[in-house]
Chains A and B, each alone.
Chain A
Amino acid sequence: MYKKIMVPVDLAHADRLDKALTTAADLSRHYKIPVCYVGITATTPGPVAHTPEEFKSKLDAFAKDEGAKRGIDASSLAKVSHDPSVDLDETLVSALNEIGADLVVMASHVPGVPEHIFASNAGYLASHAPVSVLVVR
């Protein structure tokens, strides 16, 4: 039914993502399809990594770890955004097209990006992405 699952993650708050990650892994095993973890970083040093390159390697390690732990086929994609406070949603949509996923599993807000009045990230994706979006609360 599905080909690939995209799971947006925030490495700074990976501990709070467990429910979404478990759900994605269950679906992955059920449909026997791969999962791609997508992370977004700015070019400036942040809490997770000093550079985009370091961010990429950490995300990669995270995906390998998750894949081994949960027994699923996992990969990762790191996207760089000039202005993550604003561009996060659009960057997620472009990541979706880039990896060709047709199902998104995500926490209601990418944790760590505090809720704000403009839109929830999952809300934006659900209304703008051309694929199914499962919002985990």
Chain B
Amino acid sequence: MSDQADMLSPDGEANIIETEYEVGQDNIQTNIGPFGLDIHNPVFMISGLTIVAFVLFTLAFQDAAGPFFNDLRGTITSIFDWFFLSAANIFVILCLVLIVTPLGKVRLGGTEAVPEYSYTGWFAMLFAAGMGIGLMFYGVSEPISHFSSSLAEGAGSPESWAPLAGAAGNEAEAQRLGMAATIFHWGLHPWAIYAVVALALALFSYNKGLPLTIRSIFYPIFGERVWGWTGHIIDTLAVFATLFGLATSLGYGAEQANAGLEFLFGWTVTDTSKVFLIIAITAIALISVVAGLDAGVKRLSEINMVLAAMLLLFVTLVGPTTEIIRGFFANLGAYAEYLPSLSNPFGRADDNFRQGWTSFYWAWWISWSPFVGMFIARVSRGRTVREFITCVLIIPSLVSVFWMTAFGGTAISQIVNDGYTAVSDASLELKLFVMLDQLPLAQITSFIGIILVIVFFVTSSDSGSLVIDTITAGGKVDAPVPQRVFWACFEGLVAIALLLGGGLGALQAAAVSTGLPFTLILLLACYAIIKGLRSEPR
């Protein structure tokens, strides 16, 4: 790494890495019919072909593939639970340290760089990419699961799924523990995982001048070798995790949206209707992809943020308002109280909870991190590290707490105070709608819920295509539009193939399994971040 800040300096001062590599030097520019292409040769071909091969394998050997990948996931999340938990703790600590130390003053893009997006646009995009859809799925169901398992007889025994020792028979304590455990999975830890990847990418791209792909983070470790096969493998793995993560989510998302539509309008759930939904979501995503970052994904994210805020406000005002507001602070307190024991990787008895929930979640967030992190990096130029981490770690965590309190809290209150148990009896994808059903204007709010699910998927598919396209174009962001169209369609096709042929679960398990190698990658990224930030002017 060179210390000289020469004419290459970005806006103001920064410390560029001198490398012989030129962005796009390994790219092939060619025309296939009317379509122009500008692709990174090994990465595009290998990831494309591997994905096709994997899908074919899963479809052809479904009986063997399903159990194989599920076993693989189970083994990984139970044997390496201590590793996932410890790594996630390290990410949180690193982020908190960066906020308070002088390294937080470093500005992404150089000392004089100015932010490109307003706070609202920026926040909307990072929230939609980060977990928008998950909050729709789990906002009601997860607090109820932890609450019920903690309350049940035998909570704390080896068979129980309760967090920690549970709170058998103690309703108030079960509620606190259930909320704390849920917030633990949706609070600081997942956002710290995203923040690490996003910060590393932004730093090495905007301040160090390396291409915007995952391999650039490893320059301090592998040097020039990152431009060779070492880097090709890292990037291919990132494409793989992103595409399978997106395709399986798209499949499950179609199932939830369809279940919601059936609940609301009595549309029967068939394979045809699910395929139709995937095609519709992909079609909207295509329009958005072609419209570009500003007119497409940014606008959709803003619309979604407004809709989600309205729904949150509605549930808060119409539901048990004072209970929710009091609950917000009480849950923050419970989170703080249980955080040390929930995040402790060693010497715990709650195997089912720790391995089946926490370890699985961490692996899942980590396998999503190349996608979300890269997208966050793309829109974060001009922010200081301190500002960046505050907005990527602290604020989303608080929003998650509020969201879980409002949705989960209302549902628990329905069970505890009103004796309305339909929510806990409903299937996973219906819990949200069943909860809303007890509140006024259920038809309208459920409809908004379905719209939110669909639009969150559109933004995921859209930003995912942007990310995959950038990685497979060797970090170029000006590759021809048909390439993005290709990836967006490809995602839809993979999702349809898996939905019809079975194997959504198997490939989700495969995607989660990529969490293990990526955890190593992220730990190396922590080292690279510290090393990179220390050489930056502040």
Q: Do A46 and B10 touch (CB < 8 A)?
A: no
Q: Decide if A50 is an interface residue (CB 8 Å cutoff).
A: yes
The smallest C-beta distance from B297 to any residue of chain A, in angstroms, reads: 9
Q: Decide if A86 is an interface residue (CB 8 Å cutoff).
A: yes
Q: Do A46 and B31 touch (CB < 8 A)?
A: no
The smallest C-beta distance from A99 to any residue of chain B, in angstroms, reads: 22
Q: Note all chain A residues with C-beta closer than 8 A to B290.
A: 86, 118
The listed residue (A44, A47, A116) touching B35 by CB distance below 8 A is A116
Q: Do A45 and B478 touch (CB < 8 A)?
A: no
Q: Do A83 and B35 touch (CB < 8 A)?
A: no
Q: Do A86 and B116 touch (CB < 8 A)?
A: no
Q: Decide if B270 is an interface residue (CB 8 Å cutoff).
A: no
The smallest C-beta distance from A51 to any residue of chain B, in angstroms, reads: 4
The listed residue (B34, B211, B478) touching A85 by CB distance below 8 A is B478
Q: B22-30, B58-66, B99-107, B228-236: which lies at the A interface?
A: B22-30
- Please, which residue of chain A has its CB at the minimum distance from the CB of B289? A86
Which among A42, A52, A82 has the highest number of chain B CB atoms within 10 Å? A82
Q: Decide if B424 is an interface residue (CB 8 Å cutoff).
A: no
Interface residues on chain A, number (Cβ under 8 Å): 25
Q: Note all chain A residues with C-beta closer than 8 A to B378.
A: 44
The listed residue (A86, A87, A113, A117) touching B34 by CB distance below 8 A is A117
The smallest C-beta distance from A116 to any residue of chain B, in angstroms, reads: 5
Q: Decide if B397 is an interface residue (CB 8 Å cutoff).
A: no
Q: Do B206 and A87 touch (CB < 8 A)?
A: no
- Please, which residue of chain B has its CB at the minimum distance from the CB of A84? B478
A50 to B206, CA, bound (A): 8
The listed residue (B11, B36, B292) touching A116 by CB distance below 8 A is B36
The smallest C-beta distance from B469 to any residue of chain A, in angstroms, reads: 9
A51 to B6, CA, bound (A): 13
The listed residue (A57, A83, A87, A114) touching B31 by CB distance below 8 A is A114
Q: Report 15 cross-chain contacts, Cβ distance below 8 Å, ordered by A residue.
A: A44-B206, A44-B212, A45-B209, A45-B212, A47-B23, A47-B25, A51-B110, A54-B7, A82-B292, A85-B292, A86-B292, A86-B481, A115-B34, A116-B34, A116-B36
A interface vs B, CB < 8 Å? 42-47, 50-54, 57, 82-88, 113-118
Beyond A83-B294, A86-B293, 20 extra complex contacts between A and B, CB < 8 Å = A42-B478, A44-B206, A45-B23, A46-B23, A50-B209, A51-B11, A52-B10, A53-B10, A54-B9, A82-B116, A82-B292, A84-B478, A85-B484, A86-B290, A87-B292, A88-B478, A114-B29, A114-B36, A116-B36, A118-B481
